[in-house]
Amino acid sequence: GAVVSQHPSWVICKSGTSVKIECRSLDFQATTMFWYRQFPKQSLMLMATSNEGSKATYEQGVEKDKFLINHASLTLSTLTVTSAHPEDSSFYICSATRLGKNEQFFGPGTRLTVL
């Protein structure tokens, strides 16, 4: 149990376009979902936390207008990178927690390359 999927697993896009990444909890209801970003040879860095039905909370330095997060249901959160630029190229990974639990279950991540 506690499987989280992400789609797509990799995406290449042109500079200026927007890219949507989906994160789904397949066999549980995820009250909270987290989005992380990992640049080469760096740690996973938390970008934002989203609770179902409410606005996401962004970490310092993360532009909320650039990284749009929607958590409209208990099994789906989406991250949209708007007007992507090459510096947004990174590995994006989501995680989810169940109601009342702190353990995070991770998706397999999405590799974004912006040309």
Residues that bind another protein (CB under 8 A): 4, 9, 32, 34, 36, 41-46, 49, 93, 97, 102-109
Q: Minimum Å distance from CB 102 to another protein?
A: 5
The answer to whether 45 and 37 have CB atoms below 8 angstroms apart is yes
Q: Minimum Å distance from CB 98 to another protein?
A: 10
As a whole number of Å, the end-to-end CA separation of the chain is 37
Nearest CB to another protein, comparing residues 43 and 60? 43
Nearest CB to another protein, comparing residues 66 and 111? 111
Cis? peptide before 8, omega within 30° of 0 = yes
Which residues pair with residue 8 across a beta bridge?
A: none
